[in-house]
Amino acid sequence: MEVGIVIPTFDRYANGVEFRRVVEQLERLGFDSAWFGDHIAFPASRPEYLGDSWLDAVAAANVGLGMTTRLKFGTDVLVAPYRNPLMLAKMATTASVLSDNRFILGLGIGWLEGEFEVLNTPPFASRAQVTEEYIEIIRLAFTQAGEINYSGKWMQISRALFEPKPVGALPILIGGNHRNALRRAALLGDGWHPLFLAPDEYARSRVEIERIREEKGIVRPFQFSMSGSECRILPGASAPELTKVAQEGTSYAPAVGTDADGRQRFIGTAEEVMADCLALADAGVEQLVLRFAVPLDPKTGPEEHVEQVRLFAEEVLPACQAA
């Protein structure tokens, strides 16, 4: 199983010093990938748990790619309706060409209605249909030789030329936990990248995606990925109390979930965190992406973040990558 980290690019991490320190650490410690969340311009009434400042995900990935030689960089996940699909395809292709195919394009439909309004996108209620059209256009840009023509409800393209093409196969991973997201991933994606699923839920969903792909005769390579919740290695066996978000989830993500003893997944001793990771590997997760910081977290600052990443790399990462 490959293991990646969501690099925090918000609040006190939204600066070059912290960014460079974390990227260099991930490359040095042997992680497989680094990922970035996506927000552009918040409505004033945003949920408090999002914080305030966010760096752009694609720009951050490009800077990280330029700093490294081995790490892959992905988006966790870009909200597809926020960007013109040909412009996004050009950004992704450029990252692929200049990094020798180390960029991963994660796409989802989005969830924060106010941000759609601020950005003057197509309607929030139509975001799933818009996303599917945009994915089709991006794939045409990646693969179509000669002229590109497309006629959809939200986008019309006539006799467009798009070059260069990505280096190798530039994977499009589809985010989302809903049944419709599973189908979208199976039919349109090169992988699935949901949030916070328990091992049994993930295993059931993987079977469903494989069933759809087989039914439709889709044979292109596919990666089963997952964006995991906050990870923290504790010195002892006592886990902290569950946060409200961890217990109840949010408007865009399910509750994190607990083990049989009520411990929040990915928070515990190194042995407990390792068991959580390996359970997902057994459930069919081929790429696990964890986060060691979340917005507005009073407990985990930059120094603690760096230390937690180091602890995971020393005590958990080798077993995960061997799984």
Interval 132-148: pLDDT, tens: 999 999 999 999 999 99
The pLDDT score that the predictor gives to residue 236 is 77
| pLDDT over threshold 80, residue 250 | no
Angle between helices 127-143 and 85-99 (to 10 degrees): 50
Where in the sequence is the domain holding 247, given as residue range(s)? 2-322
| More confident call, 312 vs 239 | 312
Task: Judge residue 320's burial from the number of C-beta atoms within 10 Å of its C-beta, 0-12 exposed, 13-18 middle, 19 or more buried.
Answer: buried
Determine which of 57-61, 155-159, 299-303 has the lowest per-residue pLDDT on average: 299-303
| pLDDT class of 245 with cuts at 50, 70, 90 | low
Q: Rounded distance, CA 118 to CA 130, Å?
A: 17
Among residues 54, 163, 169, the alpha carbon closest in space to that of 104 is found at: 169
- DSSP at 176: -
| pLDDT class of 49 with cuts at 50, 70, 90 | confident
The pLDDT score that the predictor gives to residue 291 is 96
Q: What DSSP string describes 212-227?
A: HHHHHT--S--EEEEE
CATH number at residue 224: 3.20.20.30
State the total domains in the chain.
1
Q: What is the mean pLDDT of the chain?
A: 94
Q: What is the pTM of this model?
A: 0.95
3-state secondary structure of 35: strand
Phi and psi torsions of 78, nearest 5°: -70, 140
Determine which of 96-105, 199-208, 220-229, 250-259 has the lowest per-residue pLDDT on average: 250-259
Q: Rounded distance, CA 263 to CA 238, Å?
A: 9
